Structure 1
Amino acid sequence: MNEQLILNKWNLLGKDLKIKAEVPGDITIDMYNAGKVSNPYILENYKDSTWVGRENFTYECEFDVPSPSFAKESQVLVFEGIDLFSIIYLNGIKIGETKNAFLEYRFDVKNALKEKNNLLQVKMISTLNEADKINTDGYNVIFNKPRIFLRKPQCHFGWDWAPKICAYGIIGKVYLESKERFQIEDVHYKADDKGNLSFFIKTNYTTETLFRPDGSVAKQGESKKDDKLVFRLAKTPFGNDFDTYEIPLEGKKNFLALKYRDFALWWPTGYGEQPLYNYVIDLYRDNKKVDTKQGYFAFRSVSLLEEAKGNNLLGMDFLINNKKIFLKGSNWVPPEFFTGVMKDEKYKKMIALAKEMNINMLRVWGGGSYEKDIFYSLCDKYGILVWQDICLACADIPEDNQEFVSNLLKEVEYQVKRLRNHPCLVYWCGGNEKTGTYGNLINKGDFLVNCLLYGVIYNLDDTRPYSRQSPHSYTDVGNDYRSGDTHYGNFEYALDHGMADYRKYISKKNVPFVSECAVMGPSSEESLRKIFGNDHIWPMDEMWKDRFMENPYGISPLDFPHRELFYAEDMYGKVDGITSFVKKASLAHAEALRAEFEYTRANRHISGAFLNWMFDDIWPSGTWAILDYYLEPKQAYYALKNSYRPRLASFYEDKDGFTHVFFDNSTNIPYSGKLIFGAKKYDGKSLFEKEVKLENVLDDVFDLKLDFKVTDFDAYFFAKFLDDGEEIKTLYSPYMWRNHSFASDFDYNVEQIDSKHIKIHIKANSFAKSLFINFKDNYRYSFSSNYIDLEKGDEAIVDINSEEDIDLSSLNLTSF
C-alpha cells in the first residue's frame, strides 16, 4: 500500500566543491566532516565558518525506484524539513520551493519521476543574503532584526546562550512515498477522562457528488465501491487485542464516536501511570485495503483554572483529569544548534534524564523549534507534560506583512495537526516575550497572537487551553507577577545586592505561575576544558565572554562569566583557579535554584508551577542550562532532582526571617507517617529534634513555623521521612553553606555488578558537602545521585551505569 524510499545518498556542490553530505544534516557540519572548516563547537572556531551561510549550495541525489513502487498511482516526494530557502528540481523539472523550516513539504512528482536514473537537486539559497534584502524599519527586535520575517529557529541569529551561526541545509528526512490513489489524509482523535472517544478521519477523496444551488453538478464524486473505514481499537493499554468497528465512507470527513466502559487514565509522572491504547485504521475500496494509519490514544482531560489566590493575586493552575497538578519543570531549547544533525539517541537520553529528575512539564520555548515526533512520543511514554510555544520570540511580530502571516499560519496549521494527538501536549502559547512583556511598549503583533493564532489553533484543537504569550497577565505589563505566567527570579537582583540575603529576596513575592526562573552556573571542569582548551581555560579572557554570550535585557555591567564569578566569590570566598571556580559557582547555581523552587513549592496554594530556565544547552557553553551540551548534568540538576521528588520535606525562610519546615505530597495518593526534623552542628551535635505525625496529607502542604533559629554558620537543619520504606532526608542551610570550611572525611568502596554497572558505598566520617563522583568522559555515565551531602556517620549507595565498560581507573571522588 504505502511504500517509502528513503533518499540518503547525497553530495553537496558549491564553488569548486563536491563533498558527501548527510541528510538530515547541516552544510556547516558537512564542511567540517570534509575538512573544509574547523570544529565549530570549540574555542572561537564558529567564527571561521560564518561564510558558509553566505554561500549558495546544491544538494544532489541520484536514485532508482523499484518497479512495484513505480507502478503506484500516487508518487509524492516528501521533505520533512529544509532550512530555509531552496528551489527543488527532479530530472531538470522544477517541482517546488521552500521558505519555512517548520513545514513539511510534499510534492507530486508523478509526471517528473522515472523508474531509473533520477536526479534530485535541492538548490539552497543563502538565508543571510535573503535577510539582507528585508526592510525592518518600524519594528522593535532584539539580537537581529530581519530574523522576525524568517521562519526558522530565531536563536540561529545569536542569543544570550547561542552563537551567531546561521544553520543551513536539509534538516529532515527525504523520501519518495508511493501509494494507491485513494488515501487517508488525516487522523485526529479526542478522548476525555470519562471514557468518551471520537475519531475524525479525513480522506483525499469523496464518493459524494457536489451540487450547485441550481441543481447542476459542481464536482462529480468517485464511483462508490463499498468504500469503508475499519477501526481496530485496543481493549487494554499497550495491547494487541482489538475491538473492531466499521463505518461507510460518507465523504472526505468521517467520524466514529464511542464510549469505553473500562479504561485507564493517563496521568503526568508522579500522579499515576501513562496507559496508551493502540489503534489501526484501514481504508477499504472495492474490498481491497488501500491505505492504513496507526498510532495510539489516551484518556485524559486538561483545563486551566484561574481563581483568586488572595492579596489581589489571580492563580493559574493546570487540571489534568480534574485534578490540580503542581508543575515542576524546565524550559527546553533546541538541544543541537545544527538542527539536522540531532539524533534520536540524544532525545532518548535527554527525556530519560528529565524523567529521572522528576520533571513533569517541559516548555518548548518559542525562539527554537517545534521538536521532532520522537520528543513528543517519549513525553507521552514518560508522562511529561508539554507546553508548546509557537515559534516567535522577543520581538514585534510583522502582522502587517501579508506574505509573512500567510507563511506563519500554514506552519501553525501543520504543526497543530501534527501534534494534537499527543496526550503529553497540554498547552498552546503564542510565543515568547513579545513587545509589551516588560513595559507598555506594544508595537506590532497583538492582533495576530490574540485573534489569528487563537482562531486557527482553536479551530483545529479545542481540547487544550491557549495563551497569547509567555509571560502574560491581565494588566498592561505582560510580566506582571500578580496574574498569568511570569518570568521571575532573584539572581539578577543579587548582582546589585549580594547573595547573603538571597532567601529574603525570594520571600518578598508569591508568584502564581513561574514559567521561567533564570539562574546561572558553569558546566563541569571537564566540559569547560573541551570548550576552551588548556590555553584559555583560566583565567577568564575574551573567549569566555564571547562564548557565554550576553543578555540585552541585563542592566549589570558584568559579562556572564564574571557574573558567575561574582556569585561564587560572594557566596564562598576567593576563587583561585578553574577547579575552585567550578566548585563554588556550581554550588551557588544549585543553592539559588533550589531556594527559588522550594519556596514556590511550599507556597503552592498560591503557585501552580515552577519551570527553571533552562533544561539544556544548544552548544557547548556554561550558563543557564542544568544539563550541558554533552549531556552531563550539573550540580543544579541533582539539586532540583531531589527537590522535585513527588514527596518532599524541606525548609524555607518567610518574609520576617523565620524558618519553616514543610511537607508536600504532589501525588494522587494520601501520605501518612512521621516527619522528623531538627538542627545539628556539622560535628554531629544535636541542637534540637522534633517529630510530628502526618495524617493523609495530599492537596494541602503541611507547614510549621519554627521557633528555633540557626545563628551559627556551622549549623544546619535536617528533615526526614519514610517513603515506601526508603528514608528521604533533606539537609538545609539558612546561609546556603556559606562561611564554613568542610573537612569532608569519607570512605568508599566499589561493588562491581558487571562491566557496565557498579555501586559505590560511601560512609561519611565527618560532614561531607557536595561529594562529586566522576570519571574520565563523565557524560557517558548515569548516576542515581551525585554532588551528595552526608551528615557525619551517614552512608549512601550510588548506582552507576554506562553503555560502555566502566573505566574504574579514572574513578575520582571529590567534595566541596
Structure 2
Amino acid sequence: MNQSLKYTSLIEKNWYLTYTEYGGADVSQPLPASAFTMDAQVPGDIHLDLVRHGVLPGLYKDMNLDHARWTELKDWWYRTEFSAQEISVGSRAFLIFHGLDCFATIWLNGAIIGKTDNMFIRHEFDAGRQLKKRNELVVRLAAPAYEICVDTKHKNLLWTPERLFCRKPSMSFGWDIAPRMVTCGIWRPVELVVCPKARITDTWLRQLEVNKKKAIIDVIIEHQWVGNGKQAKLDIKIGCVQKTVTIKPKEGVKKISCRIEILNPRLWWPLGYGKPELYDVSVTLCSGKQPLDKKTLKIGLRSLELVQEKQKSGATSFMFRCNGQDIFITGLNWTPLDAIFGSIKNSETTRTLEKLEGVGCTMLRVWGGGIYENDHFYSECDRLGILVWHDFMMGCGWYPQTSKFAQKIDVEARTILKDLRNHACIALWTGDNENDEFWPHLVFKNTLTRKIIQAACDELVPGTPYLPSSPTTPSNPKNPDCWTEGDLHYYNHGSHYKDPANWNIRCRFMSEFGHLSLPSLTTIKKYFSQGREWPLDTFEWKYHGANTTRVARFRGPEKILDSLRACGKPLPRTIDQAVAWSQALQAEALCAWIRRYCEDPEFSGFLIWNVRDNWPQMSDAVIDYEGRPKQVFTRLKGLFRDMKKQWGKNHLSRGNTPCVS
C-alpha cells in the first residue's frame, strides 16, 4: 500500500443507540458501552430504529406520529467501535460527519473532539491525536425540545417559533405540507480521512467564458499539506485537455489556480434544448511520481443568466438564458421525499427525477423549508439536464438578526456554495422562501439575505444569479407580489379555479401555485385503518392534511370539497369517488391555469407546487408519497411540450432569440 496516499473509509457498521433524560447523564463524558441497548443504522434516524425495534408503531399510519412526540424530550446517544490502520508520525486524520441532526457532542476514545448545532452541513474534526488502531466513537444528540432556545422577546414569532432559532428544516416542526417530525440522528455518512502528506480540500472550475467556439476555465485548487516539501505537482484533466502545475509544498492550506481553454466545447443544455453534455474532470496531487490524493467530478460547460430587462408592455422580464438561447421554464417545486430525511434513498431520488425527465421538466426549485439535498441529487440533475433554482434553508419567518446567528448562516452558506458550485444544473440562488412576503416592512433590515448570503454568493459563485427571497420584486422588495416583475407565489384553495382572483393573474414568472387532491386509493388504504378513510371531514384526514400540530392551515380536506362545490362538481359519496374526482379537478385546474398564463407572450415560465409528498397526505403534489403519479402527472408531458412550442413561436415573432426545442 502507498503509505503516502490519502485514504478514506466509511464508519457505518456496529452502531448502537440509547437515550437518557435531557442532561440526565454526565454530559462531559461518553456513556459506557453497557448503556447502549439497541443496534442502530447509520446513516439513519432514531425514529427508524425505534420502529424497527418495536418501540414505536409505524409512524405514518393513522395518527401514530403522536406517539413519537416524546422523542423530542430525550438525549440520544450513538456508539460504535472501528479499526484504523496505523498512521505514520506527522500524519493528519479527520472525522467527517456529513450530517448530524443536530445538537451533537462527539467523543473519540473518551476525548471530546467537537460539537455541532447545524444539521444542514458537514462537520470535520481533527482526530489525529486520539486515533488508535482500535477506536470508540460516541455521539450525543441533545434533546431538541430543550436545546433550542426561543427568544420570547423576538418579534414576529408566527407558528412553531422554535424553527427560527435552530438550523433544522422548518418543515420538521409541522408545516402545511409536512407533519411534525422533529428528526434526530446521524442522518448522513460518517467518514474517516487519513492524510499522511497532503490532500485536496476544494476544487472549483470557474467558467469565465463559454460559447460554441471556446470555454475558458479557471481551475482553483485548495490543498492542505502536513509539513513542508521540496516540490509537488497537480495534474489536471478536463476531458482530453491536460495541464500540470508545479507547486512547492508548505505546511497548511494553500490555493493555486491555472487557466484552461477548451476549443469547440460540447455544451451542456437544459432538458428539451439540447444534450446535457458532461466532461470528466480529474485532479491528481503528486509528489514526484507518487500520487497523494485525487479528486474526480463531472462538469457541464454552459453560460446561464437570469434576464431582467424591459419588455414591450413596460414590464420587466424574468427569463432564463442558457448558452445565448432564451429558455421557457416548465417545472416544479422540489421538497424532501420523506419527512424522515435519513430514510431517503438515492435510488428513489433517481426514480423520481427520471419521471420528471420523462414529462419534460426543465427546472426544479429546491424549497427553503426543507433540506439541501445530497450530491447525488445535483449530479442526477446535471445528467438529466434539469436546472435547479435553489433556496437557502429559511422560510416564512423573521429569523434572528444577531451576530451569532449571522455567523452560523455565513458558515452554512459558504459550505453549501463551495459544495455545489461545480454543478451545471444550478441556475439561481435565493436567500429564503417567502420571508419578504411575510414581513415586507422589514425587508431592508434582513441582513441575513441582503448582506451575509449576498456577500457569500458574490465571492464564491459570482457567475450565478442571486435574489434575496422568493417571491421578490427587485425594484420594490416591499411589494413582493408584483405582476410586472420578479416571480410570484399564488394559492386560493377552495375556490373555483376560474375565480377572477385566480384567472386574471398576469405575472412574469409563476414560481409557486397548486391545486389540492387526494393520494391514490392504494396509498390511503395502506396508511388508514379500515373504516377510517371515509368521510373526509374527520380529524384523521385533517391530520393527514399535515395538521399534526392541531394548528389551522390554509390547506385541508375541506378545501377539496369546497373546490368541487365551487366548480359545480358533484360531491363524492365514497373514498373512491373522492380520489378520482379530486385528482380530475386538480388536473383540470392546473392545465387551465398554465394555458391561461401562457396566453401572455411575455410570461416566461412556471414551477408547479409540488413534485411529491413527504408522507401520506392530501396535498398539491403531482406524485403521492408512495411514488404513484396522480392524474395530472400523465397530462404534463403533452402540456409542457405544447407550451414550449407556443412560447417559442411567440418569442420569435417578437424579434427575440429563437427557442431551440
TM-score (norm 2): 0.90
> RMSD of aligned C-alpha atoms?
2.5
**Where does residue 311 of structure 2 map in the other structure?**
309
Q: Does 1:56 align with 2:75?
A: yes
From 572, 576, 579, the equivalent of 1:575 is 572
Q: Does 1:339 align with 2:341?
A: yes
**Where does residue 98 of structure 1 map in the other structure?**
116
From 135, 139, 148, the equivalent of 1:122 is 139
- Distance, in Å, in 2 between the alignment partners of 1:440 and 1:299 is 38
1:664-679 equivalences under 5 Å are 664=646, 666=648
**Where does residue 248 of structure 1 map in the other structure?**
246
- Distance, in Å, in 1 between the alignment partners of 2:173 and 2:426 is 28
From 599, 609, 613, the equivalent of 1:613 is 609
What letter matches 1:142 in structure 2?
L
**Where does residue 29 of structure 2 map in the other structure?**
none
- Distance, in Å, in 1 between the alignment partners of 2:535 and 2:646 is 44
Q: Deviations over 1:556-588 (max 9, x none)?
A: 9x8610111222344321311111111111111
**Where does residue 3 of structure 1 map in the other structure?**
7
Alignment: residue pair count? 624
**Where does residue 28 of structure 2 map in the other structure?**
none
Q: Does 1:561 align with 2:541?
A: no
Report SS of the residue matched to 2:580.
Answer: helix
* Higher mean C-alpha displacement, 475-484 vs 102-111: 475-484
Give the deviation of 1:228 after TM superposition.
1.4
Q: Deviations over 1:625-680 (max 9, x none)?
A: 111111111112222232112x459xxxxxxxxxxxxx5265xxxxxxxxxxxxxx
Give the deviation of 1:286 after TM superposition.
3.9
Q: Does 1:201 align with 2:221?
A: yes
1:760-779 equivalences under 5 Å are none
**Where does residue 29 of structure 1 map in the other structure?**
48
From 125, 146, 153, the equivalent of 1:107 is 125
- Distance, in Å, in 1 between the alignment partners of 2:125 and 2:514 is 43
- Distance, in Å, in 2 between the alignment partners of 1:357 and 1:2 is 43
**Where does residue 209 of structure 1 map in the other structure?**
none
- Distance, in Å, in 1 between the alignment partners of 2:583 and 2:264 is 50
Report SS of the residue matched to 1:534.
Answer: coil
1:365–1:388 Cα contact (<8 Å) kept: yes
In structure 2, relative to structure 1, the CA distance for the partners of 1:449 and 1:586 (3 Å cut) is same
Report SS of the residue matched to 1:123.
Answer: strand
- Distance, in Å, in 1 between the alignment partners of 2:19 and 2:547 is 34
* Higher mean C-alpha displacement, 260-269 vs 178-187: 178-187
From 348, 351, 372, the equivalent of 1:349 is 351
2:303–2:322 Cα contact (<8 Å) kept: yes
What letter matches 2:7 in structure 1?
E
**Where does residue 328 of structure 2 map in the other structure?**
326
**Where does residue 172 of structure 2 map in the other structure?**
156
Report SS of the residue matched to 2:37.
Answer: strand
In structure 2, relative to structure 1, the CA distance for the partners of 1:178 and 1:698 (3 Å cut) is farther
Which structure is higher in strand share?
A: 1
**Where does residue 432 of structure 2 map in the other structure?**
431
In structure 2, relative to structure 1, the CA distance for the partners of 1:570 and 1:17 (3 Å cut) is farther
1:70–1:115 Cα contact (<8 Å) kept: no
From 90, 93, 96, the equivalent of 1:75 is 93
1:163-562 equivalences under 5 Å are 163-191=179-207, 192-194=209-211, 195-205=215-225, 223-235=228-240, 243-249=241-247, 252-399=254-401, 401-434=402-435, 436-437=436-437, 440-442=440-442, 446-473=446-473, 474-475=475-476, 476-489=478-491, 491-492=492-493, 495=495, 498-499=496-497, 501-502=498-499, 506-540=502-536, 541-549=538-546, 560-562=556-558
Report SS of the residue matched to 2:265.
Answer: coil
What letter matches 1:297 in structure 2?
I
Give the deviation of 1:551 after TM superposition.
12
Q: Deviations over 1:474-520 (max 9, x none)?
A: 3222222221111025x43x62xx45x45x65552311011101221
1:665–1:701 Cα contact (<8 Å) kept: no
What are the ranges of 5 or more consecutive residues in structure 2 without an aligned counterpart? 21-34, 655-660
* Higher mean C-alpha displacement, 374-383 vs 74-83: 74-83
- Distance, in Å, in 1 between the alignment partners of 2:548 and 2:311 is 33
Q: Deviations over 1:505-561 (max 9, x none)?
A: 555231101110122111111112222221211112111112203599x999x8610
2:614–2:625 Cα contact (<8 Å) kept: yes
**Where does residue 687 of structure 1 map in the other structure?**
none
In structure 2, relative to structure 1, the CA distance for the partners of 1:185 and 1:555 (3 Å cut) is closer
Percent identity at matched positions?
27
1:593–1:640 Cα contact (<8 Å) kept: no
What letter matches 1:183 in structure 2?
R
In structure 2, relative to structure 1, the CA distance for the partners of 1:445 and 1:10 (3 Å cut) is farther
What are the ranges of 5 or more consecutive residues in structure 1 without an aligned counterpart? 207-221, 236-242, 650-662, 667-696, 703-723, 725-816
2:595–2:643 Cα contact (<8 Å) kept: no
- Distance, in Å, in 1 between the alignment partners of 2:503 and 2:121 is 45
TM-score (norm 1): 0.73
2:233–2:286 Cα contact (<8 Å) kept: yes
Give the deviation of 1:380 after TM superposition.
0.0
Give the deviation of 1:285 after TM superposition.
2.0
1:24–1:171 Cα contact (<8 Å) kept: yes
1:160–1:551 Cα contact (<8 Å) kept: no
Give the deviation of 1:263 after TM superposition.
1.3
**Where does residue 593 of structure 1 map in the other structure?**
590
1:396–1:443 Cα contact (<8 Å) kept: no
- Distance, in Å, in 1 between the alignment partners of 2:364 and 2:560 is 25
- Distance, in Å, in 2 between the alignment partners of 1:164 and 1:445 is 30
> Highest Rg: 1 or 2?
1
Report SS of the residue matched to 1:627.
Answer: coil
- Distance, in Å, in 1 between the alignment partners of 2:105 and 2:552 is 44
Report SS of the residue matched to 2:145.
Answer: helix
Give the deviation of 1:312 after TM superposition.
4.5
- Distance, in Å, in 1 between the alignment partners of 2:67 and 2:631 is 33
In structure 2, relative to structure 1, the CA distance for the partners of 1:314 and 1:555 (3 Å cut) is farther
- Distance, in Å, in 2 between the alignment partners of 1:17 and 1:570 is 57
What letter matches 2:233 in structure 1?
K
**Where does residue 66 of structure 1 map in the other structure?**
85
2:409–2:453 Cα contact (<8 Å) kept: no
2:409–2:448 Cα contact (<8 Å) kept: no
- Distance, in Å, in 2 between the alignment partners of 1:342 and 1:550 is 23
- Distance, in Å, in 2 between the alignment partners of 1:70 and 1:542 is 63
What letter matches 2:391 in structure 1?
D
From 47, 64, 76, the equivalent of 1:45 is 64
- Distance, in Å, in 2 between the alignment partners of 1:601 and 1:196 is 37
Give the deviation of 1:304 after TM superposition.
1.3
What letter matches 2:262 in structure 1?
Y
Q: Which has the higher contact order (CA 8 A, sep 6+)?
A: 2
2:555–2:619 Cα contact (<8 Å) kept: no
In structure 2, relative to structure 1, the CA distance for the partners of 1:89 and 1:425 (3 Å cut) is same
* Higher mean C-alpha displacement, 372-381 vs 183-192: 183-192
